[in-house]
Every structure is written in structure tokens, then in C-alpha cells.
Amino acid sequence: MILNLLLSTFLTIFIAELGDKTQLATLTMSGTSNKPLAVFLGSSTALIFASLIGALAGGSISNFVPEIILKSIASFTFLLIGIRLFINSFKLNENENK
């Protein structure tokens, strides 16, 4: 049971992070520093700590807030981010055309 959770979590995060801005930042830093091992260790550690914070916070919050409300808040937040990015993309295009 725990192996299934571990595997599904790994695959979900791995696929979600492919091409993500974190990966692009790591690629850029590695290319400019000529120290790929140091960049790997730094970015890996940062991802581990960020995931730890998310897992601890999610576990704690879920004890007080029902799952449906947490999913609704997350969905609404992602919707707002998407709308904002969509609107900003038009603003950037208008500025480039001037």
C-alpha cells in the first residue's frame, strides 16, 4: 500500500516538474556556473524542503479543514493564477507591438 503511494507521488511530481520553471532555472544555473554537481545538490535540497513543508502543512491542515474545501481552495487559486497569466500575456503582446 505505501509503495503504491510512494510510486504514484513520485510519478506525479516528476511529470509535473518536467519543463517547469524550477527545472529551467536549474538548467540555466548549471550552464552558467560550470559546477553542475553543486547546482544539482542545491536544487535537490530546495525541492526536498519545499516538498517537506507542503507535506507537513497538508497533513496538519487536513485535520481541521475538510478535503472538499482544500480542493476547492486549490482549484480556485490555480484558476486565478491561470486567468492572471492569460490576461498578462495579452498585455505583454500589446507592449511588444508598440
22 plus 53 within the same structural domain: yes
Domain count of the fold of the chain: 2
pLDDT band at 93 (very low <50, low <70, confident <90, very high): low
pLDDT tens per residue across span 23-40: 888 888 888 888 889 999
pLDDT band at 86 (very low <50, low <70, confident <90, very high): confident
> How far is residue 35's CA from residue 12's CA, in Å, rounded to a whole number?
28
> How far is residue 86's CA from residue 84's CA, in Å, rounded to a whole number?
5
* Mean pLDDT, the chain, whole residue set: 85
List the domain range (segments joined by +) for residue 86: 66-98
32 plus 72 within the same structural domain: no
32 plus 71 within the same structural domain: no
Judge whether 39 and 33 are in contact, CB under 8 Å: yes
* pTM for this prediction: 0.57
Residue 92: its pLDDT value, please?
A: 64
57 plus 9 within the same structural domain: yes
Residue type, 47: L
